[in-house]
Structures are given as structure tokens and as C-alpha cells.
Amino acid sequence: MRVVLKIKRFNPERDREPYWAEYEVDVEPVDRVLDALEYVKWHLDGTLAFRRSCAHGICGSDAMLINGRNRLACKVLVKELGARITVEPLRGFPVIKDLVVDMEGFFAKYRAIKPYLINDEPPPETERRQSPEERARFDDTTKCILCAACTTSCPSFWANGEYIGPAAIVNAHRFIFDSRDRGAAERLAVLNARLGVWRCRTIFNCVEACPRGIDVTRAIAEVKRALLFSSL
Amino acid sequence: MYVGRERPTGGFELFAWFFMRISGVVLILLVLGHLAIMHVINTVDEIDFEFVAARWRSPFWRTYDLVMLWLALLHGLNGLRMVIDDYVHRKGWRVVTLTALALVGFVLLTMGTQIILTFEAPASRATAGLP
């Protein structure tokens, strides 16, 4: 099957503006978009830059805008998209080159919500035990791979890049509702700020974008509710 | 979820968010009622000074309009504040736009409240100096 890959390219050392480049690629229908991109890089134009690591939907490196939707290039099959495939870098981040974006601000917000177990009680002899129900409470948000597909699909984030964004809130949720963790207060304080959780307008783009199927807007709503009910 | 340590409480953004939810629900009822009375049950031809004066003889309708004024205005102002927060990033412009918003809001709220609270319904059109 022959497809046309239309890729938004930009090299800050050479280009003043991003431009579209088209490549014709022969692929199998069950090839992934990532395979097509690799074909371009390896056989047609070695200057094309994109990130990928595991290539199996776990590392979260190759999130990009494919046919107008945020997806992982390694999880979308060519046959799902048809003969013309447009690929752009994630929106809302500075472009370093081609499909590679600067995610420093994204990870700074991730670090701001303290994404690690906080518990200064003396460790028990065996382990910190948890019932299946307690574990299920935050199961959904453990699935995040930090690909930034949710945050860069969020209009609130596009409008104001200082907004902490859905990905950071999802990862805060993962610890706030963990029965072993004692850091909920610190995390909720960060999320209660002007650019915290209240910027969310429940647009649901994040839910649609998440390649892991996380119910992101629900997680955000649960954090809002936790803040509200601890204040009432 | 562990609740032993003190949790963050309150905060203006939390209050503003909650206010939008509550005022939104209340406004649906108030505004639908207002629309029904002023535009559906009574046509625009029937509504004149006398009509409004008659309504405002009752404390119920004054309270109704006062609550609607405050909720609608604050709801709208907070919505605009969010838009400014989203799209106006330069500090100087933020100060200018937010100050203008607060001023406009204060003037409208004060004028509206003063009229609703101090309006004295004349006995008839003639005493109000109207033709």
C-alpha cells in the first residue's frame, strides 16, 4: 500500500517558518505510522527528526499529532488512516526540530506535584500493605506514560502554558488517592493554585487523546472534589 | 485517601469555581422565569414603565431581580476574568484589563442594586411625570 506522509518540518538553524514536506512510502497496511516515519528517515531523508524509544506504546516518546489527533506513532496502524497521513509535532510546546518538542516545562510541572511516595512513618517489617479495593482506587491513573498527548490536546493549556495540565494532575491523583501515601496535602496545595486544577473546563480532549485510555477528566474532577470537600 | 494531615482549604480559585457551579444552576431557573414573564407570557407591547413599577411593588420580585442581578453579573465577570487569565499574559495588560473589569463590575453592581433597592413605585404614570 502506497501512502503519502505529509510531515510538518522545522529546523531552527535553517528555517524561519515550519513547512510541509511530503514523502511517498510503500508500507504494509498493518505497519504503524512509526514504521513509515522510520522508512522516511532511513531511506528517503535522514535529516528528519523524531523521538521514539520502545516503539511499543509504553515509553511515551513518540506522541505526535497524526491526522489532527494526538496519538502515539507506534500505536496507530497505517490502514486506520488511509492513503494520506499528516504528522505534526505536539501543540503548545516549543519545537526543537521537526517532530521533537521541548518537554522541559512539561516535566517541571510533573515534578511540582511530587510524583513519589511521601510517607515518613517508620517502614513496617514487611511492606506497606494495601487492600485490593484501596489499590483499585487509583488504578486508572497508574497507567500514565507521560507522553503529553493529554496536556497538548488541552485548550486551557494552549491558551495558558502556565496551566499545570492534565498529565501532572493525573500523576498527582495517582498518589493523592493511594492509601500508603501521606503527601496529599502538599500535592493538593499545589493543585489549588491559580494555575492549578481550576483551569480545567472539562473539555474532555485529554480523555480522547490519552493512548492509555485513562479517564483523565474524571481524575481531575476527583481532585477538584477532594479540594472542595476538604473546604466545606 | 489519608486525611490525617491538615489539607489545604478554601482559596479564591476554589470558591470561584464552586460559585460558578451554584450560580449557574440557580440562574437557569431565574433567567428562564424572567424570560417567561417578560417575553412569553407578556409581550413586549404590554411591558412599560407601569408594568415594571407594578412588579416592583412586591418585595418578592425585587428580591428575585436583585438575586438575578448579582448572580448573573458576578457569573459573567468571573467568566471574563478566566478569559483574561487565559489570554492576557503580559503583566501590564493584565493589570489594566482586570482593573477595568473590576471597575465596570463595581459600577454596574452598585447602580443596579441601588435602583432595585431604592426605586419608589409611583401611584400612577402621571405622578411619575410620564405621559
Query: Can you tell me the ipTM of this complex?
Result: 0.78
Mean pLDDT calculated for residue range A81-103: 97
What pLDDT, on a 0 to 100 scale, did the predictor assign at position B9? 63
Which residue ranges make up each domain of chain B?
11-118
User: Is-contact A147 A211, C-beta < 8 A?
Assistant: yes
- CA distance to B16, B113, B131, per residue, from B26 (Å): 15, 19, 38
What pLDDT, on a 0 to 100 scale, did the predictor assign at position B43? 85
Which residues of chain A does B17 touch, with a Cβ-Cβ cutoff of 8 Å?
198, 224, 228
Mean pLDDT calculated for residue range A20-26: 97
- Interchain proximity B86–A192, CB inside 8 Å: no
Residue A66 β-bridge partners? A69, A87
Closest CA to A192 of A228, A157, A168: A228
User: Is-contact A188 A226, C-beta < 8 A?
Assistant: yes
Q: Is the pLDDT of residue A175 over 70?
A: yes
| Chain A nearest-CA residue for B83 | A159
What pLDDT, on a 0 to 100 scale, did the predictor assign at position B46? 86
Mean pLDDT calculated for residue range A46-60: 96
Domain with CATH 1.10.1060.10 in chain A: 104-228
Mean pLDDT calculated for residue range B78-83: 94
Per-residue pLDDT of A109-166, as tens digits, reads 999 999 999 999 999 999 999 999 999 999 999 999 999 999 999 999 999 999 999 9
How far apart CA A169 and CA B60 sit, in angstroms, is 45
Q: Is the pLDDT of residue B4 over 50?
A: no
The DSSP result for A49-97, as a single string, is ----SSSSSSS---EEEETTEEEETTT-BGGGT-SEEEEEPPTTS-EEE
Reported as a pLDDT band with limits 50, 70 and 90, residue B36 is very high
C-alpha cell at A225: 472534589
- Residue A81: count other Cβ atoms within 10 Å of its Cβ: 17
What is the spatial order of strands in the sheet that A2-9 belongs to? A19-26, A2-9, A84-88, A63-66, A69-72
Domain with CATH 3.10.20.30 in chain A: 2-101
How far apart CA A54 and CA A146 sit, in angstroms, is 14
SS3 A16: coil
SS3 B66: helix
- CA distance to A34, B32, B83, per residue, from A194 (Å): 38, 32, 13
- CA distance to A79, A123, A135, A179, B103, per residue, from A132 (Å): 40, 20, 5, 11, 55
pLDDT, averaged across chain B: 88
Of B1, B14, B87, Cβ closest to residue A231: B14
How far apart CA A200 and CA A202 sit, in angstroms, is 6
How far apart CA A196 and CA A192 sit, in angstroms, is 6
User: Of how many residues is chain A composed?
Assistant: 232
What pLDDT, on a 0 to 100 scale, did the predictor assign at position B3? 44
Q: Which CATH superfamily is domain A104-228 in?
A: Alpha-helical ferredoxin (1.10.1060.10)
A35 touches chain B (CB under 8 A): no
- Interchain proximity A230–B1, CB inside 8 Å: no
Which residues of chain A does B16 touch, with a Cβ-Cβ cutoff of 8 Å?
198
Check whether domain B11-118 has CATH 1.10.3720.10, yes or no: no
What pLDDT, on a 0 to 100 scale, did the predictor assign at position A113? 97
B5 touches chain A (CB under 8 A): yes
SS3 A213: coil
Is A168 buried (19+), middle (13-18) or exposed (0-12) by CB count in 10 A? buried
SS3 B62: helix
Min Cα–Cα distance to chain A from B9, Å: 5
Least confident of A21-35, B48-62, B105-119: B48-62
Q: Which helix (H) or strand (E) holds B73?
A: helix B59-87
- Interchain proximity A192–B4, CB inside 8 Å: no
pLDDT, averaged across chain A: 96
What pLDDT, on a 0 to 100 scale, did the predictor assign at position B2? 45
Residue A87 β-bridge partners? A7, A66
pTM recorded for the entire structure? 0.87
Q: Which CATH number applies to A2-101?
A: 3.10.20.30
Q: Is the pLDDT of residue B40 over 80?
A: yes
A10 touches chain B (CB under 8 A): no
What pLDDT, on a 0 to 100 scale, did the predictor assign at position B120? 85
User: Is-contact A88 A155, C-beta < 8 A?
Assistant: no
Min Cα–Cα distance to chain A from B96, Å: 18
What pLDDT, on a 0 to 100 scale, did the predictor assign at position B126? 53
- Interchain proximity B5–A184, CB inside 8 Å: yes
Amino acid at position A64, single letter: M
Reported as a pLDDT band with limits 50, 70 and 90, residue A230 is confident
User: Is-contact A169 A219, C-beta < 8 A?
Assistant: yes
